[in-house]
Amino acid sequence: MIWQAQAPLQNSCNRKHTRVGAALAFLLALAFTGCEREQRRFSEIAPLSGRPQPQANTELRPGMPGAPGAGAQSKTTVPAPYGENGWAISEGKRLYTWFNCIGCHANGGGGMGPPLMDDKWIYGSDPESIHASILQGRPNGMPAFGGKLADQQVWQLVAYVRALGGFARKDLRPGRNDDMAVRSSEQAMKSRTAESAGSALPEREQPR
């Protein structure tokens, strides 16, 4: 009623309302992205990892005339949600200890096995390459886990290993350690772009 009596004031009030509305819409949008980030996909179809997929670690391919990108077709496709999902990354962190990745790679710093936090990726740092390394094993000690892990678990591990390497968005990485802290949390670690990592494979563009 006061607004009706005082026209200029009404104008400023309306503007204020619009601003509040915009802020609310922004918060709501944020909330929705949050849902996506934390969504827990328990019942995802998890086929046995089964036979390891053949994986190319070099650009050299057997004769496929006139098809420059043809080799890429054979790669397993990454279920995008895992790298973009905070829950999957934290599950990967749990499995990383459970399945004794720690035994060789320590908490990412490496030991008997190569470190996972540095710039060097002997067999590639893209999700498909890490997936293949876990399933097929690698020379000098990395065992093959193909057929031993549900595929969902493998992708969760891939998501976590990439987070260790600094490839995951900061707000997705685990913020603290459940056990005794032997190093800072993943969230506090340096972010890395695909270009800065020395990799055997040319990196694909990472989804953001």
- Nearest distance in Å: CB 101, other proteins: 12
Binding segment toward other proteins, per CB under 8 A, in 24-32, 38-46, 76-84, 185-193: 38-46
176 part of the interface to other proteins, by CB under 8 A: no
40 part of the interface to other proteins, by CB under 8 A: yes
- Nearest distance in Å: CB 178, other proteins: 7
194 part of the interface to other proteins, by CB under 8 A: no
148 part of the interface to other proteins, by CB under 8 A: yes
Binding segment toward other proteins, per CB under 8 A, in 39-47, 60-68, 120-128, 187-195: 39-47
- Nearest distance in Å: CB 51, other proteins: 13
b/e map 4-25, b = 16+ CB within 10 Å? eeeeeeeeeeeeeeeeeeeeee
DSSP the chain: -HHHH-HHHHHHHHHHHHHHHHHHHHHHHHHHHHHHHH---TT----B--SPPP---SS--S--TT-TTGGGGGSPPP-GGGGG-HHHHHHHHHHHHHTTTHHHHTTTT-SSSPPSSSSEETT-SSHHHHHHHHHH-BTTTB---TTTSBHHHHHHHHHHHHHHTT-S-GGGS--S-SS--SS--GGGSPP--GGGSEESSPPPPPP-
Judged by CB under 8 A, the residue of 1, 28, 47, 68 near other proteins is: 47
Binding segment toward other proteins, per CB under 8 A, in 94-102, 114-122, 124-132, 200-208: 94-102
Q: Which is nearer to other proteins, 28 or 45 (CB)?
A: 45
136 part of the interface to other proteins, by CB under 8 A: no
- Which residues would be at the binding site for other proteins (CB under 8 A)? 40, 42-48, 94, 98-99, 145, 147-150, 152-153, 178
